[in-house]
Structures are given as C-alpha cells and as structure tokens.
Chains A and B, each alone.
Chain A
Amino acid sequence: MSAVLQNLVNQPYKHGFVTDIESDIAPKGLNEDIIRLISTKKSEPEWLLEFRLNAYHQWLKMKEPEWPNVKYPKIDFQAISYYAAPKPKKKLSSMDEVDPELLRTFEKLGVPMNERAALAGVAVDVIFDSVSVATTYKQKLAEVGIIFCSISEAVHAHPHLVKQYLGTVVPVGDNYYAALNSAVFTDGTFCFIPKGVKCPMDLSTYFRINTEESGQFERTLIVAEEGASVSYLEGCTAPKFDTNQLHAAVVELIALDNADIKYSTVQNWYAGDENGIGGIYNFVTKRGLAKGVNSRISWTQVETGSAITWKYPSCILQGDNSVGEFYSVAVTNNYQQADTGTKMIHIGKNTRSTIVSKGISAGHSNNSYRGLVRIAPTATGARNYSQCDSMLIGDQCSANTFPYIQVRNQAAKVEHEASTSKIGEDQLFYFAQRGIGNEEAVSMIINGFCKDVFQQLPMEFAVEATKLLGFKLEGSVG
C-alpha cells in the first residue's frame, strides 16, 4: 500500500516529557515488608493491610498468565518499585498549593483543571504516580452527598463504604494482575453517588506515570446507589522511557437498583517507539456489577496507547432488566499489541447487552478483539448484540476477532457480527476525484468507521479522541 498511508500513520508521541519532581520511591521488589511499608506510609487500617496480604499470598500461588496473541519478555516483578509519590506531600486544599511544575505538566497534557474546567462541568481528581494530588469541586459535589476523592482519603474518611464494596466485583484472587494490584495499589479514585442523586457534572480523573521504574497500580471504586447516576471520565498518558512499565489497575463499578454508571476512558499511555522499544504494559481489570434491577453499566474506551493492552471491561448483569454496554475503539501502530474486548455475563432476566468494537491496525501491530457473551440458565429473555469491525492499514499488521458465545438458556437471543475492511486506494481516489486530499480522506474514513463509538463519548472526550486518532493515524501527506 501507498507511501501516503505509511506517512499518515507515523506521528511522534506528544506527551513524552518527564516532570522533574523529586519522588519518594520505595525500594524495588515485592515482599510482605513492602506491602506493610505501603500500608504504613498510607496510615491504613488493619483490615486493609489484611486485604493486601491476602491478595499477595494468593498472587504468590498464581501463575503469570500466558496469552496466545500477546508476546513480550517476562516481567521481573522484583525489579519494579511499588510505591512512588511526588515529594512535597502535604495536604493540599486548593489548586494554588499544587507544585507549579505539576500544573505545567497538566497544562502540557491539556488537562482541564482550572476554572474553565468548572464552566465545562468537569471535576478532576488527579492521580500523579499513584498519589492523588488534588481533587477539585469536592465541596460542590459534597453538597448533594456525592463523595469524590482519592481512595486513600476514602479509606480514612469513609472506611465503612470502602470496606463494604472493595474487592466485591473483582475479588482479590480474580486474576494474576488483579491480585497484584490488590496487594500493592497505592492510590486511585473513590466515587460514591448516594440514592436518587444524578451527578450534576462529569467526573474526571487523569492518570499519569512519571517515574521510570515505577509500576502504576491504581484502584478505582465507583458505587451508584438506588436511582443514582454518574458519568466518569478517565484519561491516561505517560512519558517516554526506553524501558517498559507495568500498569495494572483495577476498576470496580457497582450499580444498585435503577442506577446508571457510564465510564469513559481515553487511554494514550506511551506506546513505545517505532521499533517497539519501551512503552507501557497496560494489564487492567475493569468490571462492573449491574447488581440492581434496571441498572445500567456502560463502558466506552478509546485505546490508542500502550505497548501492550490487555483489558476486558466487563459487565455482570445480575439485576433483572439490567443493561451492559461496551463501546470501544482500539488503534495500534508500529509494534503495539492490543488484546481487548469485553465480557457480558447475563444472569438476571431480560438483561440486555450491546458490544460495538472498532479495531484499527497499522504498522506491524497486532490488534485483537476478544469477547465473551455468556447467558446463564437464569437469564431468560436475555439479549446481546455485538458488532466487531476491523480496519487494516498496510499489509504488515494483523487483526483478529475472537468472540466466545456461551448460551445456557433457550429463551435468549445472541447476535454477533464482524467484518474487516481497509482504506482502499479506490476510496482515496474517489475522495481525490471530488477534490478532497488524502489526509482529509483518511481522517474522514477513520472517523466514519469509529462514529458509533465516538458518539457515546462525552463532548470534551469526543473531541480529544478524534484529535488523538489524528495524532496517531494522520500527519503530513507524503
């Protein structure tokens, strides 16, 4: 395929700077002492230390998974530092107290953290190398009873809530990386929307990995009580390093009766260079429990970064009539590998799920959709519709589709469709014949391809996602 497309898909990473802030880093390696150190540093209650140690002991007994379509050298878990906090670590009550270097970082990242953000209706909880630095608009949210803070803070301020829900959707021994996270997570976000409250603004957290040898193990817990609703945005970037870094997060969502949680991610971790050197290993467990009747959990993700992405944001549809949704765009270029998809576990009656996945592969990358739709014997009347489309740019990449469909109830209906397409010379010629240049044509075709997913994103994120895809797949026409 043409040099035109080759040029279009190669663009330097825009967020590859390191912020020069002194970090407080734990010695490398993992053992009980490190876990106790983390727990002590964070002045945690005994039950949480127990939670961590329990996870650690389960992790020790587990085997590091090997995935058929993802290839990378073995990770040395003893070479990772499990705790890194930016140093001036006093309590911050306003943005003025935040290290200006940090603020500049956020500026470079384009994080909407200032007053304009307030006007845009965004509250931001910033996680910087695992420690929450500032949470804005907490006060305003507190007025309607919404708790939105770092998970460390929640452990102290709302221990009963954290204890009640933590690890209930993703048990500590769920999988290798979830167990590791449960043992060593350092910070993350806690969000609680009480009964009947519709969160008045989109909540947003920005994650960033800054230290070269630190892993990031953040933990997110969102609970929407009966009739509550919330839309949560998560954005991720990381600076460039030649080494690979591990990001093993756990996200748990719980929706009670008639509650609604919408979780959107734009993931742009550093993907490694054009030769596949460096980049984040993004091994993440995200799962939502639609526990109550008529509850809804909706995942939207735009995955453009990371050397390796392994994540399956899932929904356990336990409540009758509950709804699960998964909308995904995954873009891979150079030597990136993405193995991503979802699991929809239908347990309640008349549960419904929708899966829309768009994979775009370029360069030498490998992009796989892997999804599970399981209809339990109890899920009478369950419905699933899945659509998985792949687009290939160039003939050195690959696109795979692995849908697992398991139906145990005759009164259920499952439909899956998948297709593969390319940006053809003929399409580009057609655009050109109408006066539209290649760059614009590619952008239009890709945005058209991803339209069904982008329209699920909140406004600000949709713009960001479109731009990101632009960085990723467009550039100067050769």
Chain B
Amino acid sequence: MSMSMVTGNSYLESLLQGQPQLPPSPLAWFNRLRASAVDRAGMLKVPTTRDEEWRFTDISPLAKLSFHPVRTVPSLQKEDIARFYVEGTSATLVFVDGIYMPELSVQSNRTADLIVTNLSAALATHAHAMEPHLGRHAAFQDNLFAALNTAFLHDGALIIAPRNTAIERPVHVLFIATQAESTSHPRCLLIAEPGSAVTVVEDYVTLQEGPYITNAVTEIAIGDNAQVSHTRLQRDSGQAFHMANSAVSLARASRYRSISVAFGARISRYDLNARLAAEGAECSVDGLALINERQLADTHTCIDHASPDGTSRQLHKCIIDGAAHGVFNGKIIVRPGAQRTDSSQSSRNLLLSARAHIDTKPQLEIFADDVKCAHGATVGQLDNEELFYLKSRGLSEVAARNLLTYAFGAEIIDRIPIASLKRRLEQTVLEQTQRN
C-alpha cells in the first residue's frame, strides 16, 4: 500500500508538470475552475483496487511507465488520416495528441447556426454560453482523472446545437494519438439548446502502437425537449491507457442516446454519468467492449433518475478473448420523488477463452415506490441450441461460432445511427471475432 502510494504520488507530480505552462485566460471563472481542479488533483490519491469503484481495475501498470505532456505535434496531412474521416458529417474537428488542428478539421458542410469550434477559440466568443456548463457537469471533487483533465483544461471541442433546430448530419470529433509516452487531456462540451437535435461522434484513434495516456472528459447538457445521440469510439493502441469521464444532464422531456464502443487500450476506464434532472427525460445507454490478449476494459455507468416519469434503457455487452478482463458496473439510482420511473438494464457477457474473465455488477438503488425497474446479467458461452441449429444447417462448428459471436457484438454496433460508420465498425467486429 505505502509503496504504491509513493509511486502513485510521484506519477501524479509528473502528470501535473505541464500545468504551470498553460497560459492564463482573461476569464476569471475559467482560471478559477482550473485552479480549483489543480488543487483537487493535488489532494486526491491514485485509486487502487481497495477503492470500491476501482475494485477490479488495477491501474498500477500506469505508474510504472513515464509519460510527458505534449509540446509539439507532427505535421499531418488529411491524406494521412483519411481512413478516420466519416462521410457526410456536418463538421469534423480534429485534435492531434490533444491539440486542435484547424487544417485537418472540416467545417464546410456546417449549417450557419450550428456552432462547432475549438474550445479555446470559443472562450473569446461563446464564454457566456459555456460558463454555466463547462466543469459544472463532470464533477472532479472525488475523481482524480476528471480533476486532472480540468487542471489541464485549455482546449477541446465545443458544440452548440441551436434552439429548435434539428441538425441532420452528425458532428465528428476525432482525437488522434501520434506520440508514445505522451499524455493528453481531451475535452468536449456539447450544449443542446431546448428543442434541438444533434448527433455527435466522439472518436479516439491512434497512429502508433506504443503506450500513452488519454484522459478525456465530455460534458453534455441537453435542454428541454432536445435530443442528443452520442456515439463514442475508443480505438486506442493496445498499449494505451484510456481514462474517460462523460457527464450528461437531461432537462425536461429531453432524450439522450449513447453508444460507446471500446476496442483498444491496454487499460481503459469509462465512467458515464447521466442525470435525468427534470421530468419525462429518456435515455438509452448501450455499450460494447471487445477485447483480447491482456486488455482490461472497465465501464462504469450511473443513470440517475432524479425526477419523475423518466425512462432509461441499457444494454451493455462484453466479448472477452485471450487473457482479457472485462468490468462492468452499472448503477441505476431512483431518487426520492422520481415516481413512475421506468428503467431496465442488461449486462451480457461472452467469454471466448479459458483465461478471459469478467466482473459485472448491475445495481439498483431505489428510493421511490411507484417505479418499474429491472436488471439482468448473464455470463456464458454461445448458446448450444443456436449452435446446433446452425450446424444442422450445414455450418461448421467454427463458422457457426464465428457467426454467433459476430452477431452478439453487432447488436450494439447496429444501433449506431450513422450507416457508413456502422459498416466500418461491423467490419472490425467481424475481424476480431473470427477464428479458423
């Protein structure tokens, strides 16, 4: 314990090294936010498996490596990253190692009233819109990684969907890692004004296979009757550490639809908190972790029904191969007074090898009586009846297994609302689930 604390703290110091070089902002509230996050990050300890929230996720390998903040980034052309662009977006923002790249970004299809810009530029123009939201949803009091991200806050993506407008084409925010042993703190803020509708893809990719840290925070504020579709793809390198927090706030009768997919990273941890803050809000939170070798993918979600008449649906799946380790902790809270909440949650897990393992904990905490809540969890192999059926139709054992495994993962991918992206990811699932 004491050993890991020592290494932990020095590692923290190393992470905080870059902080003093951040230029102060002319905005007092922004400086205050960052300063309080620096304070907080200095006080919090690196979580260990003795913390209930980190019980199954040992991040001590992180402390054994050294990382540095990014100072310069390689020059990239659009052609170098062509395979990451998604067709038909209304705008694409590209960040390389956490730094905004206007020349790689695409704004040409954006309708005039949709705001898609980088956060540091927006501080000059949209500070007023950002102030009530930035750092207000993703609490960092007890969350070291959110505190670190906020301490390093200087740039990121800002999306504002204007009032009573449906944005047809998705917005793509692409984070590309290019340097080993680097640390980046990507930040996104999405404000969906009342009555708006928008689809956003938050996408983490890499151009190299070494270790690095991505420590992301995304905040999403959804106004009355607004709708947000949020697809999150984590395709980091197999050596990377991916820490991420998303915080979503839902106003009256708003809707949030989330699909998160984790393929990459040596260790990934994704915390999604969705708060149904006003009456009649709806959210669906789906996820897929497809991992292999010694990967660890940990998803913690909290769906917080704080108001009456809310609905939530969740389907989380893990496909675990090699000696990989899947973790799912899905909490559903129904607060006092959140009557007529209708919530269901399902955790489905498939182990493909003898050394694969899973820890899943769906949990309900209910403080209101007039509610309908259900959850379920399964862990197992492919269904023998289904296998038999396919084999009786002439498929080989391997082909039948491949088909069912693919279908297990594709159920989540199918829910992604962007056809071209869906096809590409289905291909990835296909490649990762097929054996000879």
Known: A395-B339, A422-B371. A416 touches B364 (CB 8 A): no
Q: Which of A29-37, A128-136, A404-412 contacts B (4 or more CB under 8 A)?
A: A404-412
User: Can you name 5 A-B pairs with beta carbons within 8 Å?
Assistant: A401-B363, A405-B359, A410-B356, A410-B381, A413-B381
Given the interface pairs A394-B369, A395-B369, A400-B365, the reply to whether A417 lies near B360 with Cβ below 8 Å is no
CB distance from B151 to the nearest CB of A (A): 29
Q: Which residue in chain B gives the minimum CB-CB distance to A390?
A: B366
- Complex Cα–Cα for A395 and B338 (A): 10
Which among B365, B371, B376 is the interface contact of A417 at CB below 8 angstroms? B376
Query: Whole-angstrom distance from the CB of A135 to the nearest CB of chain B?
Result: 44
Q: Is the Cβ of A400 less than 8 Å from the Cβ of B377?
A: no
Contact A401 B377 (CB under 8 A): no
* B370→A403 contact, CB < 8 A: no
* In the bound complex, CA of A106 to CA of B365 (Å): 40
**Assembled-state Cα–Cα distance A415/B364 (Å):** 16
Counting CB contacts under 8 A, is A392 at the interface? yes
Would you call B373 and A419 a contact (CB within 8 A)?
yes
* Also in contact, A407 and B379, with CB within 8 A (given A392-B369, A395-B336, A416-B362): yes
Known contacts A412-B380, A415-B377, A417-B376: does B357 contact A406 (CB below 8 Å)? yes
Instruction: Indicate which residue in B364, B365, B370, B379 contacts A412 across the interface (CB closer than 8 Å).
Output: B379
Inter-chain contact B369/A410, CB cutoff 8 Å? no
**B contact residues, total (Cβ < 8 Å):** 35
CB distance from A386 to the nearest CB of B (A): 9
CB–CB B364/A418 < 8 A = yes
Let me know if A399 is at the binding interface, CB within 8 A.
yes
A395 and B380 contact, CB distance less than 8 A: no
Cα separation A409 to B320 with both chains bound (whole Å): 12
Give the CA-CA distance A402 to B361 in the complex, in Å: 7
CB within 8 Å of B: which of A373-409? 375, 377, 390, 392-409
Question: Within the complex, what minimum Cβ distance (angstroms) separates B334 from chain A?
Answer: 8
| A414 on the B face (CB < 8 A) | yes
Residues of A close to B52: CB separation below 8 A: 68
Residues of B within 8 A of A392 (CB): 366, 368-369, 371
Nearest CB of A to B317, in Å = 14
Any A CB within 8 A of the CB of B372: yes
Chain B contacts for A404, CB-based, 8 A: 359, 361
Are A420 and B374 neighbours in the complex by a CB distance under 8 Å? yes
CB of A88 closer than 8 Å to a CB of B: no
B 304-360 contacts with A by CB, 8 A: 336-337, 339, 349, 351-354, 356-360
Whether a CB of chain B sits under 8 angstroms from the CB of A119 is no
Expressed in whole angstroms, the minimum distance between the Cβ of B186 and any Cβ of chain A is 32
Q: Kindly state whether residue B10 has any CB partner on chain A within 8 Å.
A: no
Q: Assess whether A1 is interfacial by the CB under 8 Å rule.
A: yes
* A413 contact set on B, CB distance < 8 A: 378-381
A12 at the interface (CB under 8 A from B): no
- Asked whether A424 is an interface residue with its Cβ less than 8 Å from the other chain, the reply is yes
Contact B359 A406 (CB under 8 A): yes
- Smallest Cβ distance from A223 to chain B, in angstroms? 33
Give the B-binding residues of A (Cβ under 8 A): 1, 68, 375, 377, 390, 392-422, 424
Q: Which residues of B contact A (CB under 8 A)?
A: 52, 336-337, 339, 349, 351-354, 356-381
List residues of chain B with CB within 8 A of the CB of A410. Answer: 351-354, 356, 381
Contact between chains at A420 and B366 (CB < 8 Å) = yes
Considering the complex, give the chain B residue whose CB is closest to the CB of A405.
Answer: B360
In the complex, how many angstroms separate the beta carbon of A166 from the nearest chain B beta carbon? 31
Could you tell me the distance between the alpha carbons of A375 and B357 in the complex, rounded to whole angstroms? 10
The reply to whether A405 and B361 contact each other, CB–CB distance below 8 Å, is: yes
Chain B neighbourhood of A408, CB < 8 A: 357
Q: Nearest-CB distance from B333 to chain A (Å)? A: 9
Report B-chain residues with C-beta under 8 Å of the C-beta of A418.
362, 364, 373-376
Q: Within the complex, what minimum Cβ distance (angstroms) separates B164 from chain A? A: 36
CB distance from A370 to the nearest CB of B (A): 9
Judging by beta carbons under 8 Å apart, are B359 and A400 in contact? Answer: no
Q: Give Cα A416 to B346, complex, Å.
A: 10
A420 touching B371 by the CB < 8 A rule? yes
Question: How many residue pairs, one in A and one in B, have C-beta atoms under 8 Å apart?
Answer: 109
Given known contacts A418-B375, A420-B372, A420-B374, is B349 in contact with A407 (CB within 8 Å)? yes
Q: Do residues A414 and B380 form an inter-chain contact, with CB atoms below 8 A?
A: yes
Residues of B within 8 A of A400 (CB): 363-366
Give 18 A-B pairs besides A401-B364, A414-B377, A420-B372 with Cβ atoms closer than 8 angstroms: A395-B336, A395-B339, A395-B368, A404-B361, A405-B358, A406-B358, A406-B359, A407-B357, A407-B359, A410-B352, A414-B378, A414-B380, A416-B376, A418-B364, A418-B373, A420-B373, A422-B369, A422-B370
CA distance A1 to B376 in the complex (A): 28
State the CA gap A56–B368 with chains docked (Å): 43
Once bound together, how far apart are the Cα atoms of A264 and B436, in whole Å? 52
Tell whether, in the assembled complex, residue B373 and residue A405 are in contact, meaning their CB atoms are under 8 Å apart: no
Compute how far the CA of A375 lies from the CA of B360 in the bound complex, rounded to whole angstroms: 12
- A414 to B358 CA separation, bound complex (whole angstroms): 11
Which 9 pairs across A and B sit closest by C-beta, in order of nearness?
A410-B351, A392-B369, A413-B380, A420-B373, A414-B379, A419-B374, A401-B364, A416-B377, A407-B379
Closest partner residue, chain A, to B338 (CB atom): A395
- Are A420 and B357 in touch, CB under 8 angstroms? no
Contact, CB under 8 Å: B366 / A411: no
* B351 contacts across to A, CB distance below 8 A: 407, 409-410
Determine the chain B residues whose CB is within 8 A of the CB of A409 once the complex forms. 351, 354
Q: How far is the CB of B372 from chain A (nearest CB, A)?
A: 7
Known contacts A414-B380, A419-B373, A398 near B363 by CB under 8 Å: no
- Residues on A with beta carbons closer than 8 Å to the beta carbon of B366: 390, 392, 398-400, 420
In the bound complex, how far is the Cα of B362 from the Cα of A1, in angstroms? 29
Alpha-carbon distance between A424 and B358 when the two chains are bound, in angstroms: 38
Name the residue on A nearest B370 (C-beta): A422
B369 touching A405, Cβ below 8 Å:
no
Complex alpha-carbon distance, A419 and B362, angstroms:
12
Give bound CA distance, A377 to B351, whole Å. 12
Please determine whether A407 and B358 come into contact, CB atoms closer than 8 angstroms: yes
Q: How near does chain A come to B89, taking the closest CB pair, in angstroms?
A: 39
- Give the CA-CA distance A401 to B330 in the complex, in Å: 11
**Cβ of B380 and Cβ of A393 under 8 Å apart?**
no
Q: Which residues of A have CB within 8 Å of B373?
A: 418-420
Q: Which residues of chain B are near A395, meaning CB under 8 Å? A: 336-337, 339, 368-370
- In the assembly, what is the distance between CA of A403 and CA of B364, in Å? 9
CA A411 to CA B337, docked complex, whole Å: 43
In this complex, what residue of B is CB-closest to A396?
B336
Known contacts A410-B381, A422-B371; A403 and B362 CB within 8 A of each other: yes
Note all chain B residues with C-beta closer than 8 A to A414.
377-380
Query: How far apart are B292's CB and chain A's nearest CB, in angstroms?
Result: 14
A402 to B364 CA separation, bound complex (whole angstroms): 7
A128 to B180, CA, bound (A): 70
| A418→B375 CA distance, assembly (Å) | 5
Residue of B nearest to A377 (CB): B354
B362 / chain A contacts, CB cutoff of 8 Å: 401, 403, 416, 418
Q: List the A residue with the shortest CB-CB distance to B349.
A: A407
- Chain B residues contacting A375 (CB-CB under 8 Å) are 379
Roughly how many angstroms separate A404 CA and B55 CA in the complex, as a whole number? 11
Cα–Cα distance between A391 and B352 once the two chains are bound (Å):
37
- For residue B369, which residues in chain A have a CB less than 8 angstroms away from its CB? 1, 392-395, 397, 422
Chain A residues with CB under 8 Å of B336's CB are 395-396
Query: Which B residues are CB-close (under 8 A) to A398?
Result: 365-367
Q: Are B377 and A405 in contact (CB under 8 A)?
A: yes
Inter-chain CA distance A414–B378, complex, in Å, is 5
Contacts of A394 in B (CB 8 A): 369
Residues of B within 8 A of A397 (CB): 367, 369
For the complex formed, measure the closest distance between the CB of B383 and the CB atoms of chain A, giving whole angstroms. Answer: 10
Output the nearest chain A residue to B359 by Cβ-Cβ distance.
Answer: A406
Which A residues are CB-close (under 8 A) to B376? 415-418
Distance of A125 from chain B, by nearest CB (Å): 39
* B-side contacts of A402, CB under 8 Å: 361, 363
- Find out whether the CB atom of B381 lies under 8 angstroms from the CB atom of A411: yes
**A402–B363 alpha-carbon span in the complex (Å):** 5
Q: Is the Cβ of A403 less than 8 Å from the Cβ of B365?
A: no
Q: Do residues B361 and A403 form an inter-chain contact, with CB atoms below 8 A?
A: yes
